[in-house]
Amino acid sequence: MPTKFYEPEPEKPSKPKRLCDGLREDLKNCLVNSDCVQKHGMTPKQCLMLHDDPSVPDECVKLRMQFFECKRSMLDMRNRFRGKKGY
């Protein structure tokens, strides 16, 4: 019986990261671990809409604002050509 040689399957290329993916993941993790989701049983989207609720930590609110600024900077033509500062 002849020996068969198999070529290893090529590795799949990883998805290219989008500009604000890191902030999106941080915000998602913050909301999922907050009291709003854990204790009150609300969805992360519902918790995101609550601005002055004490069950949503200040860290999540700050991450929400940073994510908004990141998304807004993607539309700003000056930043699109020059690139984001500090990233």
Q: What is the pLDDT of residue 79?
A: 63
Q: What is the pLDDT of residue 17?
A: 74
Does a structural domain hold residue 44? yes
Q: What is the pLDDT of residue 33?
A: 92
Q: Is the pLDDT of residue 44 over 80?
A: yes
Structural domain count of the chain: 1
User: What does the pLDDT average to over 45-60?
Assistant: 85
User: What does the pLDDT average to over 67-86?
Assistant: 74
Does a structural domain hold residue 14? no
Q: Which residue has the higher pLDDT, 19 or 11?
A: 19
User: What does the pLDDT average to over 45-74?
Assistant: 87
Cα 59 to Cα 17, 18, 31, 42, 47: the distances in Å are 24, 22, 9, 18, 13
Does a structural domain hold residue 53? yes
Does a structural domain hold residue 10? no
Look up the domain containing 61 and give its range.
21-79
Does a structural domain hold residue 84? no
Please give the structure tokens belonging to residue 32: 């999922």
pTM of the model as a whole: 0.68
